Structure 1
C-alpha cells in the first residue's frame, strides 16, 4: 500500500491543493452571502428564497464535496511515507486547524438552517466578523506546512 501512495504522491498533492482551494473559496463566500442575506431580505420574501437557494447549492454542491476531498487527499498525504515529520509541531498544528475549519464548515451549515426556518438571530456585522475565522485558520495551516516549525 505504501508503494502506491509514494507513486501517487504528486497526484495526491495536486488534488489536495485543488480541493483545498475549492473549499476555502466557499468558506470565504458563504459568510458573505449570509451578510447580504440578513441585510437585504426578510424571511419569506423573494430575495430570501434566492439567497437560500444560493447558500444551499454552495454548501451542498461545492463546499461539502470539496471538504471531503480535502480530507481524503490530506489523509493520503499523511499516510505517505516520509511526508510528515511527527517529531515536529507543524503536523499537530495543521491537524488542529483543519479540524477547526471543519467545525466552522458545520457551523455555517447550522446557520443556513437558521435562515431556512426563519430563526436567524445574527447580524451582518457578526457574519462579517465570522468571515475572518477561515482566514486565520488558513494562515496557521499554510505557515505550519511551509515553515514546518
Structure 2
C-alpha cells in the first residue's frame, strides 16, 4: 500500500504523543495509589478516588487506544519497506506492549479494589508496582531504536 509520506509522519507524530500521554498516566496512577494507601481520612479517600477515576478513564484509556490504533497503521504502512514481520525484535516489542496492556488492566482492577479498601495493599507494594512500566519502556525503546539482531 502506497501511503503519502506526510500521512505516515502525521500518524507517527500522533503515535508518539499517544505513547507519552499513556506513559504519563501509567507512571502517575500507581503513584496516586501510594498516596491513597497512606491516607487515613474519608475526604482524602474520596479525593483520590475521583483523581484515579479521571486519570484512568479520561487519559489512560484514550491514550492506550490511540497508541494501539496508530501503531497498527504504522506497522501496516511501514512493513513494506521495514519488514517488521521478519524481525525478532518486533515480536519482542509486541510482547512487551502486551504486558503493558495487561499492566494497564491491572491498574483498573486495583483501582476498583482501592475503592472498597484503601489499605488493600501497602504503600510499599504500590511503590514497587509503580516502577514496572519503566522497565518495559526502557526495553521497548532499546528494541525500537537499536533493532538488535538475535
- Give the alignment's TM-score, normalised by structure 2: 0.91
Q: Which has the higher helix share?
A: 2
**Could you tell me which residue of structure 2 aligns to residue 21 of structure 1?**
20
Q: Report the Cα offset of residue 93 of structure 1.
A: 1.0
Query: What is the aligned-residue RMSD (CA, Å)?
Result: 1.5
CA shift for structure 1 position 4? 3.5
- Cα distance in 2 between the residues matched to 1:101 and 1:133: 9
1:1-59 Cα offsets, whole Å, 9 max, x none, are x22475521011100000000000000000100000000235xx111000000000000
Instruction: Describe the shift of the 1:119–1:41 C-alpha distance in structure 2 as closer, same or farther (beyond 3 A).
Output: closer
Segments of 5+ residues of structure 2 without an aligned counterpart are none
2:51 to 45, 48, 54: 54
**Comparing 116-125 with 70-79, which one deviates more in the overlay?**
116-125
- Quick one: distance in 2 between partners of 1:15 and 1:83? 20
Of residues 49, 67, 70, the one that matches 1:70 is 67
SS of 2:82's equivalent in the other structure is coil
Name the count of aligned residue pairs. Answer: 146
Say if 1:40 and 1:11 are closer, same or farther in 2 by CA, change over 3 A. Answer: same
Question: Structure 1 138/92 Cα, relative in aligned 2: closer, same or farther at 3 Å?
Answer: same
Contact 1:32 1:127 in 2 (8 A): yes
Contact 1:111 1:120 (8 Å CA) reproduced: no
Within 2, Cα distance between the matches of 1:139 and 1:47? 33
